[in-house]
Structure 1
Amino acid sequence: MTTEEEAREFIAAVKKEHYKANHNVSAFAIGDKQEIQRSSDDGEPSGTAGIPMLEILKKRELTDVVAVVTRYFGGIKLGAGGLIRAYAGACNHAIDAAELVRIVEQTQLDLTMAYPLFDNVSRFIATSGLVISDSVFTSEVQMTVFVDTDQVSQLMQDLTEQFSGKLTMALRDKKLVEVDI
């Protein structure tokens, strides 16, 4: 979710799916620095459900995320402390079970080289923690790697120094990718 509207649509979809539930408590944090934060107790006593969930999202520094905890009343009154623990705990458990990712902008870097350099450049790329996404072998070798945009300049400098300027480098398109946390 990257907008408040998307977050609200998601919450509405969960409420529609669980329309017989007593409560669909929600919280969301949107923006790189959690600029948009909202929560709803959805009928639970004020401050006992949505705010504890929002605090979990903030504490775990999650962004562009929506959490909805659905509760069907089972005949046991939890009290304020019990509600806070239940909703915050459910939110925490869901986050622990989720596969969290970080969104990173990467730039395509095309490297062109003579055949004798291929193995050494491949090793250098691998030891830099990068993956070769494509290699084309014609009269020369063209290799494509995707690099975090904020690291492109340093990598290009390192490649130039390591291989004495014998590589041709070209920057191409940028893309957003998910990187496991």
Structure 2
Amino acid sequence: MTFTLVEPYQWQEEIKKSRFLVRSAPVTTTEQAQQFIQANSDATANHNCWAWKIGQQYRFSDDGEPSGTAGRPILSAIEGQQIDEVVVLVIRWFGGIKLGAGGLIRAYGGCAAHCLQSAPLKPIILRQHYQFSCHYHEWPILENRLRDFDVIIDEQIFGTLGPAIKMAIPTEEAKLFQETLVNLTKGRESLTILDK
């Protein structure tokens, strides 16, 4: 199962006199991720390194640290915690002791991982969009059953024979709801998948 943050979360840690401040937040678009980075970067810090992941899209930045020692470890921490739809910004104030490439990788990846492990998380529920129709006498029963399936109704159109419903249902529950719909309408109706 994949998770995301419930709300923005911060973590602070000191490693060999360098101060690391991690700021993280849930995001659903690349624009939100970039806006978060811009709004939360600190110009007084030596480095503002970051990574974000939204589905199959991701980006990261070392912001002046040696290549591969900051952004990639932050992204690895995100993936290692099975988190998606998130942006993580690690701000570093240099404390005078060089950490070396291995030390930087451990510091950036470790701070990001500690932040994500401590943050309140919620599961990401994958939903597919469907539509179906039914007669008016069937609708009260179906409407009640929709609550059992954690359905989000996108649109209801009430026609002459009955309602036409467009909805989003958790992917793993679609088959069971399909069986319920077919049984209730005696095979007359079934779910039609819609494009996302």
For the pair 1:161 / 2:186, whether they are aligned, the reply is no
Give SS of 1:113's match: coil
Query: What RMSD over aligned residues (CA atoms) do the two structures have, in Å?
Result: 4.4
Q: Which runs of 5+ in 1 are unaligned?
A: 176-181
State the AA in 2 paired with 1:21. Answer: A
Match runs of 1:67-78 below 5 Å: 67-73=88-94, 75=95, 77=97
1:80-129 CA-to-partner distances (Å, cap 9, x unmatched) read 576445423431244353656647453242433133x3332223322233
The counterpart of 1:58, out of the listed 54, 63, 79, is 79
For the pair 1:19 / 2:33, whether they are aligned, the reply is no
Partner of 2:17: none
The counterpart of 1:122, out of the listed 121, 128, 143, is 143
Partner of 1:49: 70
Give SS of 1:165's match: coil
State the AA in 1 paired with 2:180. Answer: D
For the pair 1:146 / 2:171, whether they are aligned, the reply is no
Q: For the Cα contact (< 8 Å) 2:139–2:163, is it kept in 1?
A: no
Structure 1 length-normalised TM = 0.58
Partner of 1:179: none
1:6-27 CA-to-partner distances (Å, cap 9, x unmatched) read 6995697368x52221111223
1:131-173 CA-to-partner distances (Å, cap 9, x unmatched) read 455656676542633235686566334311233136x567485
Q: Give the whole-Å Cα distance in 2 for the aligned partners of 1:84 and 1:12.
A: 20
Q: Give the whole-Å Cα distance in 1 for the aligned partners of 2:185 and 2:150.
A: 18
Using CA pairs below 8 Å that are at least 6 residues apart, which structure has the higher relative contact order?
2
State the AA in 1 paired with 2:49. Answer: V
Partner of 1:107: 129
State the AA in 2 paired with 1:27. Answer: A
State the AA in 1 paired with 2:128. Answer: Q
Q: Give the whole-Å Cα distance in 2 for the aligned partners of 1:24 and 1:114.
A: 58
Which runs of at least 4 in structure 1 moved beyond 6 Å after TM superposition? none
Cα–Cα, structure 1 residues 44 and 98, in superposed 2: closer, same or farther, change >3 Å?
farther
| Farther-moved stretch of structure 1 (147-156 vs 55-64) | 147-156
